[in-house]
Structure formats: structure tokens, C-alpha cells
Amino acid sequence: MKQTVLLFIVLGCILINPCGGRAQKLGADSVIYFSDMQLDSMLNGKASTEKALSFLLGRSQDKERYLVVLRTKPGDVEIHEQFDDVAIVRSGHAVLRTGSKVSGSKESGNPGTREWGGGVIEDGKERALSAGDFVVIPAMLAHQYIPNGGEAFTYWTIKVRRLKTSSR
């Protein structure tokens, strides 16, 4: 319940565009609501051989993504130049490894998105994560989620575009 309220507050503070009618629209505004039952229905029975399954919950006015992610295996190292990742842990336990020195990563995603994946974080710092934890991963910080012992680990991720700074 605590995580649901926290997610509702975070999403309520950000204008969201409808996401295909999968969620209940509340009133005439653009708030999208997912109940615990709806999220559980999306996630239950989905654990597979894949590293992660992500489900799009909505998009901001700038088309940035709001996702719920299920991991049962360590994710790849990720680096995003243009986005901070805001994450709220929904369930399970994992280690978040972060660092600035990465070897073996390759540009991923669409060309020109300035995102990299794979490789190994060489100067890693690790933090234990569990339900209710709130994390902000700044742009250009390498990060990797590692679920504990194959346990299902779920979290919400909100992509926040980094503002370009002007030079003086």
C-alpha cells in the first residue's frame, strides 16, 4: 500500500498522457491509475529466461517513459547521457551497482540516443535495495540492478530528461 501511494503521488505530480487504455482514467484530467491488482496481473507469471521485462505505464508531455520493470537476473550495465533514472522499488531485493568507469560497453538503443549498455563497472559502489526504496541515478552514471538469488525484483522507473545547460 505504501508503495502504491508513493507511486500515485509521484505520477500525480507529473502530467501523463494516456497509455492505451490499460489503466483507469480518473476524471477529466490526465492522471492514470494502476491498482496493485492491475500491476500484479501484468507481472505475475511473467518471470522468464529474459534479464528483464518492462511494461510501459505512460509517457510525459515530452514523451519520456514511465515503466514498471521485473528482473530475475542481473541486468546489463546501462549509461544514459540525456536522462536521470528515478526508481522506486516495488518488491523484492537487489543490489544496485553504480560507477563512472566502465569497460566493454557499446552504444545501444536507437542511433544518436547517446545510451550505452553492457560491459563491467570497474569502480563500482553497491547499495542494497528493497521495497519502498527511492533512488535517483543521474545521467552518465553507469548502473546495474542485480536481483538477490534469482528472486523477482520489481521497480518503477521514471525517465527524466536532463536539461541542457547553457555556457556563459
Reported as a single tens digit per residue, the pLDDT across 61-97 is 778 888 899 998 998 999 988 889 999 999 999 999 9
* Apex 101 CA angle, 98 and 105, nearest 5: 90
Domain limits, the chain: 2-161
d(CA 31, CA 58): 10
Topology at the third CATH level for domain 2-161: Jelly Rolls (2.60.120)
**Whole-prediction pTM:** 0.74
Going 19 to 158 to 109 to 119, the CA torsion angle's sign is negative
pLDDT digits (tens, 9 = 90+) for 95-118: 999 999 998 888 776 666 688 888
The three cell numbers locating residue 91: 518488491
Closest C-alpha to 90, from 60, 126, 51, 132? 132
Per-residue pLDDT tens over the stretch 17-76: 333 334 544 445 667 788 888 888 888 766 555 667 888 888 887 788 888 999 989 989
Task: Quote the cell numbers at residue 75.
Answer: 541486468
Burial class, 39, CB count within 10 angstroms (exposed 0-12 / middle 13-18 / buried 19+): buried
